[in-house]
């Protein structure tokens, strides 16, 4: 692969290249379609039946040390679920938190050498996200929760149980809030309150801005040049507390959602260029579907979490079958708009445009295929990158020929 992917020059790895190329269409503010297909109202979990606690047989997979899952280890998970008690509460995440299919931190990798594709990882949930809490595990270290994008098991320490007043105030977006639109955002160091001191806040997270009269200083630091935000903290008894924290005023954050335009979307998603691909967001980054979900989230557009749901619930500009040739696909792509999503089984890409008769997209992907000395082999990428659609997938066909549809939000 060298320093760049095939067909991709250094300038093509900048958002400016694609925004300037489509200057006539990307800058106008647009009204997004109403996206459906999310989970039911969070409060419904309080009157619904408990989750199904029937667990499968011992999983066919490997632990982090390369050993297979054993039945005794699996029975620990089974007992933890079977002995779970109903909790019936609501709360909020106090950090970006792993959501697991089962209440265990032990991974389930598909091979002995794998260290990244943990089949027990569902996703990660953003900081200060509302949760309906249904169960507490037997060891009390896990709670089963439902968020607006997924359900599963979360560490108890990652959740602050909310009062009725807190739930009413924060379960929906407050009127003034801060959105993180790039990596690297942290609260300022706070020597008088370690719970809010130098805490990372991930891309796509939203925090309420303090609505009262701002203090002149916080933790003996001036608020000049900072946003004063309300930050969620879990107290010793498990309840939610809201503290004040400072975030530097710079271009990595934005008051309110970005205006709904293709230019803002492309600029936002390019801030993650080069980030490590992360199955289920496990390594702290993004996989393909959470990447586009969080990019649209910075514009206030909420998509389903998984690529299959994104394909199902977003309207299609074009739908292809295996018999549709490259000419038909390229003709359809010529009518697509930057920011449209390109779907294929198990993967989603964000369309950028056509350059020198090649179609390009930005996506978080594992790799592609390449023939060297007559031998076809996989090339690792594991990153958020720009690629042309003519490069082969790791299974052989090009990305262009593997696509099944174009879907759109505007």
The CATH number linked to 360 is 3.90.1720.10
Residue 129 and residue 143: Cα distance in Å, rounded? 15
Let me know whether 70 and 127 are in one domain.
yes
273 and 324 share one domain:
yes
The C-alpha atoms of residue 383 and residue 403 are separated, in whole angstroms, by 20
Our count of domains for the chain comes to 3
User: In this structure, is residue 56 part of a structural domain?
Assistant: yes
228 and 359 belong to one structural domain: no
State residue 181's pLDDT score: 98
Residues 24 and 138 in one domain: no
How confident is the model at residue 51, as a pLDDT?
A: 57
Residue 25's pLDDT is: 78
H helices of 233-379, in order, are 262-270, 288-297, 307-313, 326-333
So what's the pLDDT on residue 41? Answer: 62
What pLDDT, on the 0 to 100 scale, is given for residue 4?
A: 76
In a domain, 37, yes or no: no
> Among 141, 170, 199, which residue terminates a domain?
170
E runs forming strands in 137-203 = 142-146, 151-155, 159-161, 177-180, 185-186, 200-201
Per the CB < 8 A criterion, the answer to whether 161 and 239 are in contact is yes
Same domain for 137 and 246, yes or no, is: no
Side-chain-side CA neighbours of residue 381 (13 Å): 26
Domain boundary among 106, 140, 170: 170
**What CATH number has the domain bearing residue 50?**
2.30.30.40
Q: How far apart are CA 254 and CA 83, in angstroms?
A: 44
Query: Cβ(292)–Cβ(298) under 8 Å?
Result: no
Residue 3 covered by a domain = no
Q: Are 139 and 100 contained in the same domain?
A: yes
45 vs 47 pLDDT, higher one: 45
SS3 label, residue 45: helix
Domain membership of residue 5 (yes or no) is no
Query: In terms of residue numbers, what domain contains 103?
Result: 42-170
Residue 214 — very low, low, confident or very high, per pLDDT cuts 50/70/90? confident
Within-domain flag for 207: yes
Q: What is the CA radius of gyration of the chain?
A: 22
Residue 4 forms part of a structural domain: no
Pair 66, 139 in one domain: yes
E strand or H helix at 352, and its extent? strand 347-355
Are both 339 and 392 inside the same structural domain?
Answer: yes
Same domain, 118 and 145: yes
* 1: pLDDT strictly greater than 60: no
Question: In this structure, is residue 345 part of a structural domain?
Answer: yes
Tell me what pLDDT residue 48 has.
41
Q: Does residue 22 lie in a domain region? A: yes
57 token code pair: 């047989």
For 210, which DSSP code? Answer: P
* Residue 120 reports pLDDT greater than 70: yes
* Residues 385, 273 within the same domain: yes
Band (44; pLDDT cuts 50, 70, 90)? low
How far CA 49 is from CA of 135, 137, 153, 159, 190, in Å, comes to 11, 16, 17, 22, 43
Residue with tokens 């594709």: 117
- Determine contact, residues 305/150, Cβ cutoff 8 Å: yes
Entry pTM: 0.95
Average pLDDT, whole number, for the chain? 93
Same domain, 156 and 185: no
Which of 170, 197, 221 delimits the end of a domain? 170
Alpha carbon distance 142, 147 (integer Å)? 15
Q: Which of 2-11, 234-243, 247-256 has the lowest mean pLDDT?
A: 2-11
Burial pattern 308-318, b for ≥16 Cβ within 10 A else e, equals ebbbeebeebb
Full DSSP string of 218-236: ETTEE-TTEEEEEEEEE-T
CB neighbours of 159 closer than 8 A, spacing ≥ 6? Answer: 91, 92, 93, 94, 97, 131, 133, 143, 145, 234, 238
Instruction: Give the lowest-confidence range in 25-39, 46-60, 82-96, 209-223.
Output: 46-60
User: Same structural domain for residues 95 and 140?
Assistant: yes
pLDDT of 163 above 50: yes
Choose the weakest-confidence range: 54-63, 154-163, 222-231, 331-340. Answer: 54-63
Q: pLDDT-based confidence at 54, cuts 50/70/90?
A: low
Could you tell me the CA-to-CA distances from 271 to 3, 31, 178, 318, 364 in Å, in that order? 19, 23, 17, 28, 13
Q: Tell whether the model's pLDDT for residue 45 goes beyond 60.
A: no
């Amino acid at each position: 692969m060298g320093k760049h992917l095939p067909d991709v020059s250094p300038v093509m790895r900048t958002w400016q290249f694609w925004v300037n190329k489509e200057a006539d269409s990307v800058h106008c503010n647009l009204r997004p379609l109403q996206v459906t297909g999310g989970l039911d109202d969070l409060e419904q979990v309080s009157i619904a039946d408990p989750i199904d606690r029937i667990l499968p047989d011992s999983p066919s997979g490997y632990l982090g040390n390369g050993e297979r899952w054993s039945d005794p280890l699996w029975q620990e998970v089974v007992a933890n679920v079977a002995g779970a008690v109903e909790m019936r509460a609501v709360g909020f995440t106090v950090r970006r938190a792993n959501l697991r299919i089962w209440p265990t931190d032990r991974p389930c990798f598909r091979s002995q050498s794998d260290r990244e594709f943990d089949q027990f990882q569902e996703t990660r949930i953003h900081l200060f996200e509302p949760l309906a809490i249904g169960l507490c595990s037997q060891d009390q270290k896990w709670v089963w929760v439902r968020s607006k994008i997924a359900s599963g098991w979360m560490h108890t320490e990652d959740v602050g149980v909310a009062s009725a007043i807190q739930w009413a105030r924060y379960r929906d977006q407050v009127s003034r809030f801060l959105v993180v639109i790039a990596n690297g955002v942290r609260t300022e160091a706070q020597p008088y309150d370690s719970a809010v001191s130098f805490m990372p806040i991930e891309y796509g997270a939203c925090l309420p801005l303090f609505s009262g009269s701002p203090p002149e200083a916080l933790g003996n630091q001036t608020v000049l040049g900072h946003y004063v935000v309300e930050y969620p903290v879990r107290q010793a008894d498990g309840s939610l507390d809201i503290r004040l924290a400072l975030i530097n005023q710079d271009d990595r954050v934005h008051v309110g959602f970005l205006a709904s335009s293709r230019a803002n979307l492309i600029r936002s998603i390019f801030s993650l260029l080069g980030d490590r691909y992360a199955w289920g967001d496990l390594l702290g980054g993004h996989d393909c579907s959470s990447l586009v979900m969080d990019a649209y989230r910075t514009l206030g557009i909420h998509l389903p979490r998984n690529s299959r749901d994104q394909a199902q619930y977003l309207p299609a500009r074009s739908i292809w079958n295996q018999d549709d040739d490259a000419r038909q696909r390229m003709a359809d792509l010529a009518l697509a708009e930057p920011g449209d999503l390109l779907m294929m089984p198990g993967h989603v890409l964000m369309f950028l445009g056509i350059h020198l008769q090649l179609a390009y997209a930005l996506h978080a992907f594992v790799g592609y295929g390449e023939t060297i000395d007559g031998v076809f082999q996989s090339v690792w990428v594991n990153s958020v990158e720009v690629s042309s659609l003519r490069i082969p997938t790791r299974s052989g066909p090009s990305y262009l020929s593997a696509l099944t549809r174009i879907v759109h939000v505007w």
